[in-house]
Structure formats: C-alpha cells, structure tokens
Amino acid sequence: SKNYKIAVLPGDGIGPEVTNESVKILKVIASVFNYNFQFDYGVMGAEAIFQTGNPLPEETLELCKNSDAVLFGAIGDPAFDNNPDAKVRPEQGLLKLRKELGLFANIRPIKTYDSLIKKSPLKKEIIEGTDIQIYRELISGIYFGEKFTDENGEYAYDVCKYSREDIVRIAHLAFQDAQKRKKKVTLVDKANVLDTSRLWRKICQEIAQEYPDVTLDFMFVDNAAMQMILNPKHFDVILTENMFGDIISDEASVIGGSIGLLPSASIGEDNALFEPIHGSYPQAKGKGIANPVASILSAAMLLDYLGLGPAAEKLRESVEHAIESRYVTVDLNADQNYSTAEVGNFISDYIQFSEKTYYN
C-alpha cells in the first residue's frame, strides 16, 4: 500500500502528551487498515526557541513541506506571554509555518455530544443539535499585515489587508462544503465599519451566484458573538476573516462543553496541517490530565484529507464510543475521570477490537 509521510510537531505545554495519543492511534489504524504511515518529528515553538533560538527551524519547515500532512500539538509558553518585549515568540513559528505552507483555510467543526450536553454552561434547548463548520481565513488579514511599534513605545499599529484572491479561494471551499450540509453560508464581518469587510461581502455575493442552491447571509461579528450562544442552531457554515475566526471559534467551543474536544484542519493547495484548537495549557503540562480528544479528532481530519475515509469514520466512531461511555478526562467528568493516556488507550483498543470482530 501507499506510504504516507506524516510530519509530527508536538510543540509546547500539553502538545506532546496529546499528540502522543494521536500517533499511537494512527499506528493502530495503520495496522488494522493496512496503511503505511511514516512519522518524522520536528521542533517548533518555545521548545524550538530554547533549543535553537528559532521558533521554526529551517529543518522543521523542510520536513513539513516534504510531508503528506502535518500533525501539530500546541504552542505557547508563559515565559513569553508575560514578556511583551520578547522579540522572538513561539507563536511566530506557527504563523510562519501556516504562511510558508500556504494554509489559507482553517476549518473548525463545532458539534454537541448527547452525553455531554449537561457539561455546557448553556441551556440544553439552545445547544442540542448544534452543527457548525467554521471556515477561518488563516494567512492574511491583521495577523499578517504590516506591524510597527515606535521606538519610544508611544504608538503601534497592525494593518488588516485582504486581496480578492485571499477571499475567493476560501469562499469556494466554504460554499462547496455548505452544498454537502444545510446549504447556508453566514459571512461574519464588520462591514458597517471596515473596508476589508465590505470587500469580503462584495466578493462573496459574486461567488454565491455560482452556488444557487446555497443561501448566503451576513452577520456583524459583534452580533455573531451574541448569536453564537443565544441561537447557535442559526449557523451552518460560517465564513470569516482571520481574527474574527480566531475569536468566535473559542467562543463556540463552550457549546460542546470543553475546548479539549475541538479539532481543526488547515488546508492549502499542496499542504495541510491538523491541530487541536486549544492552546498549550502550561498549567497541565506533564500531569497527564489533558484531554487528547481534540488532537485525536484532528488526526481523523488528517485521515479524511489523505482520502482514508473509512479509517477516519472508524476513528470518530471510537471517540464517540469513549465519550458516550463517559471514558473521559477531568475537564468532562470531575467525579470519575481517566488520564490522557487511558483515554487514548481506550480509543485505540476499541479500534483494534471492533475491527477484528468485523474481519473475523
């Protein structure tokens, strides 16, 4: 069978612990489904700065460029968060990697699990049945515009810029996905104030003509922040620019009951990277309490991307089984909980056991 090269960047904080579980599970998937995965490790983030002074060493970048997919953990370290004067920062590694690999679309699915409905601080009637797919533009906008801080520290700016091409390529992905779902795209913007938002609206209206079966609606981001928790079922596909997407996806994670559940895929023309939407959670580092599900579901998105759909389905089914069995980490059950590795083992055992009976 074909050989797939998977670059693994565990990163900082809980990144290595959760990524370990995903790699363990991908190895089981490979043996059960008879695939060949080659895992090659690279350093990025604070760990890379401590080792080499560079948050994205050239070697790591090359490794990722030459892989079929990248599995990434998390980035960030308090040593940098609390120091606004730090010139080199862990996050620069991830931003540079996204840019260099051309990962323009960040896809973040938000859904609820029946057995976790009570874990959300939101009311059951409001969240039950929520199923949202966020398309966040990832390599343009205010994150990547010109930046400046004057010498005296009196003023600074960050420029938000979008080109037609930036918008067109992600808009097509969002519309195509909507066609397979509930056929609705909501463009989240601030078109009453920002020129970039008005460009997004104009171009998305043009593109919508090519998808007559899909409805396009618009929502200002401040209202969207409110609707996300008042009426999340309003949304099917959300299409939005870089920073708005960053903010509303963290907000949306409250719906599912834990940010530790949410995966993401970052897609470009030739490359793709898969990562949990949560951060490096330094307080939990090394304690074995981090929820590996967001990373494991990111691995499922990686399998989909490689065209290994049945394995991706199997993996998602196994994660659902763990959640429905309440075999979960402390963020989801304070009374009886399992460690990061126990949850990973439970899921990989289920994959092995249920496939065996299937083949016998």
In angstroms, rounded to a whole number, what is the distance separating the alpha carbons of residues 119 and 127?
Answer: 11
Q: How many CA atoms lie within 13 A of 291 on its CB side?
A: 28
342 binds, among ligand IPM, Mn ion, none (CB under 5 to 8 A by kind): none
From candidates 100, 246, 317, 320, binder to Mn ion by CB under 5 A: 246
Count CB-CB contacts under 10 A for residue 170. 27
Amino acid at position 221, single letter: V
Q: Name residues contacting ligand IPM, limited to 176-205 (CB under 6 A).
A: none
Q: Is 246 a catalytic residue?
A: yes
- The answer to whether the annotation marks 201 as part of a ligand binding site is no
Distance (Å, rounded) from C-alpha 8 to C-alpha 21? 12
Q: From residue 302, give the alpha-carbon distance in Å to each of 12, 23, 313.
A: 21, 12, 12
Residue closer to ligand IPM by CB (options 95, 229) is 95
Residue 15's binding partner out of Mn ion, ligand IPM, none, with CB under 5 to 8 Å set by partner kind = none
Q: Any idea of the CA torsion for 61, 177, 263, 259, to the nearest 10 degrees?
A: 130
Query: Residue 295 contacts by C-beta under 8 Å, 6 or more apart in sequence?
Result: 18, 19, 21, 22, 71, 73, 263, 275, 276
- Partner in contact with 30, chosen from ligand IPM, Mn ion, none, beta carbon below 5 to 8 Å by kind: none
265 binds ligand IPM (CB under 6 A): no
CA distances in angstroms from 185 to 179, 200, 234, 237, 255, listed in the order given: 9, 13, 10, 5, 20
Q: Per-residue contact track with Mn ion, 121 to 160, x per CB under 5 A?
A: ----------------------------------------
Which of Mn ion, ligand IPM, none lies near 91, with the C-beta cut-off 5 to 8 A by kind? ligand IPM
Cβ distance 110 to 132 under 8 Å?
yes
Q: Is 143 known to be catalytic?
A: yes
C-beta neighbour count of 2 within 10 angstroms: 9
Residue 181 marked ligand-binding: no
By CB atoms closer than 10 A (0-12, 13-18, 19+), residue 269 is exposed
Amino acid identity of 178?
A: A
CB of 200 to ligand IPM, least distance (A): 18
Per-residue interface string for the shown chain with ligand IPM, residues 230-249, x marking contact by CB under 6 A: ----------------x---
User: Binders of ligand IPM among 50-89, rule CB under 6 A?
Assistant: 75-76
Q: Work out the end-to-end distance of the chain between its first and last CA atoms, rounded to an integer number of angstroms.
A: 22
Query: For Mn ion, which stretch binds (CB under 5 A), given 87-95, 99-107, 245-253, 337-345?
Result: 245-253
Minimum gap (Å) between residue 250 Cβ and Mn ion: 6
Residue closer to ligand IPM by CB (options 91, 251) is 91
Tokens 């990277």 correspond to 273
Residue 222 bears catalytic tag: yes
Beta strands 237-240 and 184-189: pairing type?
A: parallel
| Residue 250 assigned as binding residue | yes
Which one of 9, 94, 207, 300 is in contact with ligand IPM (CB under 6 A)? 94
Active site residue 190: yes
Active-site residue set: 143, 190, 222, 246, 250
- Residues belonging to the binding site for Mg(2+) are 222, 246, 250
- Residues belonging to the binding site for substrate are 98, 108, 136, 222
Residues that bind Mn ion (CB under 5 A): 246
Residues that bind ligand IPM (CB under 6 A): 75-76, 91, 94-95, 246, 277
